[in-house]
Amino acid sequence: MSEISSRIESALQARIVSRQPLSGGCVAKVSRLTLSNGQCVVAKEGGQGLDLEGWMLTYLKDKLPVPEMLLAEPDLLVMTWLESGPGGFDGKAEIHCAELIASLHGYTAPAFGLDRDTVIGGLSQPNGWHAKWLDFFRDQRLLHMAGEALREKSLPKAVHDRIEKLAARLERWIDEPLRPSLVHGDLWGGNILAGGGRVAGFVDPAMYYADPEIELAFGTLFGTLGDYFFKRYNVLRPMAAGFFDVRRDLYNLYPLLVHVRLFKGGYLGQLEKSLDRFGV
């Protein structure tokens, strides 16, 4: 028996009967475990900072459906298994998702950021508090991730300079939001467990308090959120004009930079096309 398995069995006071590998582990090995007491759990093993992920899920547990934390250590995370049912993320599930995310965005804070830095795709995501959203988005999202990508030689210097030029002009396209909203932070299809016309839960958060439009934008980057979601969300939290025409592409520069940093050139062309739109 491995040392990791021994730790799980000791913490949960049950033997591991079977182990089924799961897809989607970006920074850790993910498995579904069946225990001798009949319980099914999910274990993430390896990587770093899994206790931080556990902290985020615990923070969200009374605000959003998420797995219950059973064990959270730097290299090991064990949580309850969420049964999502058939059908996947269909129109009805999109509507339910809109209701859940609109409710999450109703949680506010005195400033933009979070008490702790978090991670996205295993990359550091600084969350130092800022009174102004434009300052936070410029310094802690665009310039931070562009700098990381440049240091890792994933981002050419010329493109980095274009990001800097755009970051100095954000007030041309973005107004300060009325208040900070709590966001999941990594809202794409792989992190939404859905079936039977409902969302069973959300996983892998990268949360902080932000302009909620950055969350909505990210949800469109890979086609996760569609018309059913936005029609319902807009009823619950009316969206300002210009999101789809302008601000969506601007906010998606951040997740594109994340993907450039992680996967190098594959997303660089998409990033440059977005920069072209804004004349930098």
Dump pLDDT digits (tens) for 262-279: 998 789 999 999 999 999
The predicted-structure confidence for 110-135, as pLDDT tens digits, reads as follows 999 999 999 998 899 999 999 999 99
pLDDT tier, 86 (very low <50, low <70, confident <90, very high otherwise)? confident
List Cβ neighbours of 188 (8 Å cut-off, separation of 6 or more): 218, 219, 221, 222, 224
pTM for the model: 0.95
* Residues involved in catalysis: 186
List the one residue out of 230, 242, 182 whose CA is nearest residue 60: 182
Please give the domain boundaries of the chain with CATH numbers for all domains.
3-80 (3.30.200.20), 91-277 (3.90.1200.10)
Query: Do residues 218 and 67 touch, judged by C-beta distance below 8 A?
Result: no
Give CA–CA dist 227/217, Å, rounded: 13
The predicted-structure confidence for 219-275, as pLDDT tens digits, reads as follows 999 999 999 999 999 999 999 999 999 999 999 999 999 999 999 878 999 999 999
Query: Do residues 268 and 163 touch, judged by C-beta distance below 8 A?
Result: no
